[in-house]
């Protein structure tokens, strides 16, 4: 906390963050896919709550704020590395892991802002057990509806709906490794490598372990892709509080990603 206060040049409030968002280019009526780092903003009066209020205020009643609400814990224990668990536990873990519940299941590795946002009164969370999204605003229900289990960031996902909506990506204090929209481009590569995954879900009122298909993601290349993306596509840069921030077209990000990973495959 001391380090965050010391790096903060001026007090961050709902009002100052709202002003910074407007200066960056966020407009009323926007549909925003937001990636955030609370600590990067500096000390915020009200913390995560203040940032969410500023985002909602910035897009207004006709806009929509969307955040990834991923829950990687709901996955097959054979895939775990941080930490790995004994193989002798795997079957019991699969049998006893609580099923995904959009109202209860916590996010993992998303940070304080998305974890609070998923519980925000009126927020809607999509149905995928591992790669869900949460949304608040005018188009939240239609964007979050019918999130397919197979290929969870592909054509039957909120990402694809955001693409059709011509949404905007806002990264506050994060780098391209967090840019979820690049994943949709990965699905659009001819014949991407696929693999089997698993998670506990509720099906017809019963907890079941379901296996599903997905592609092998290449997150480790997102920083490289992001640097090239900025050389070829318009990206607005600025600061939200102390956080270096970016604003750009989700559709252009996806289209670029598809070209990048097709070329590199």
pLDDT digits (tens, 9 = 90+) for 77-122: 999 987 899 999 999 999 999 999 999 999 999 999 999 999 999 9
Interval 137-181: pLDDT, tens: 999 999 999 999 999 999 999 999 999 999 999 999 999 999 999
Inter-residue contact 164 to 63 (CB < 8 Å): no
Closest CA to 4 of 175, 177, 243: 243
Percent of the chain with pLDDT strictly greater than 90: 93
Cis amide prior to 83 (ω within 30 degrees): yes
Inter-residue contact 200 to 209 (CB < 8 Å): yes
Q: Which residue has the tokens 């925000």?
A: 120
Interval 182-223: pLDDT, tens: 999 999 999 999 999 999 999 999 999 999 999 999 999 999
Closest CA to 71 of 156, 128, 123, 148: 128
Q: What pLDDT sits at residue 265?
A: 66
Q: Report the C-alpha gap between 32 and 200 in whole angstroms.
A: 30
Interval 54-66: pLDDT, tens: 999 999 999 999 9
Strands 168-172 and 31-36: parallel
Inter-residue contact 182 to 253 (CB < 8 Å): yes
The SS3 call for residue 133 is: strand
Q: What single string gives the DSSP state of each residue in 194-214?
A: EEEEEEEEEETTEEEEEEEEE
Does the global pTM surpass 0.85? yes
- Report residue 8's pLDDT band, with 50, 70 and 90 as the boundaries: confident
Q: Report the C-alpha gap between 126 and 157 in whole angstroms.
A: 9
Q: What pLDDT sits at residue 171?
A: 98
Q: Report the C-alpha gap between 195 and 181 in whole angstroms.
A: 20
Inter-residue contact 149 to 210 (CB < 8 Å): yes
């Amino acid at each position: 906390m001391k380090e965050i206060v010391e790096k903060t040049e001026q007090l961050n409030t709902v009002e100052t963050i709202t002003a910074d968002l407007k200066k960056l280019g966020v407009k009323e009526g926007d549909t925003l896919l937001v990636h955030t780092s609370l600590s990067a903003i500096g000390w915020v009066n009200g913390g995560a709550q203040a940032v969410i209020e500023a985002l909602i205020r910035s897009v207004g009643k006709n806009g929509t704020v969307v955040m990834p609400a991923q829950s990687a814990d709901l996955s097959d224990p054979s895939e775990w590395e941080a930490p790995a668990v004994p193989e002798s536990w795997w079957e019991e873990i699969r049998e006893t892991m609580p099923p995904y519940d959009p109202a209860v299941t916590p996010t993992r590795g998303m940070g304080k802002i998305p974890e609070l946002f998923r519980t925000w009164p009126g927020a809607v969370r999509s149905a995928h057990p591992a790669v869900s999204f949460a949304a608040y605003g005018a188009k939240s229900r239609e964007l979050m509806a019918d999130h397919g289990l197979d290929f969870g960031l592909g054509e039957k996902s909120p990402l694809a709906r955001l693409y059709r909506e011509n949404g905007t990506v806002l990264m506050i204090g994060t780098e391209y490794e967090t840019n979820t929209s690049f994943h949709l481009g990965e699905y659009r590569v001819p014949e991407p490598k696929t693999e089997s995954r698993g998670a506990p879900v509720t099906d017809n009122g019963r907890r079941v372990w379901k296996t599903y298909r997905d592609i092998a993601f290449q997150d480790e290349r997102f920083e490289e892709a992001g640097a090239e993306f900025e050389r070829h596509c318009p990206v607005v840069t600025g600061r939200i509080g102390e956080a270096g921030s970016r604003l750009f077209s989700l559709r252009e990000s996806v289209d670029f990603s598809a070209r990048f990973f097709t070329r590199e495959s």
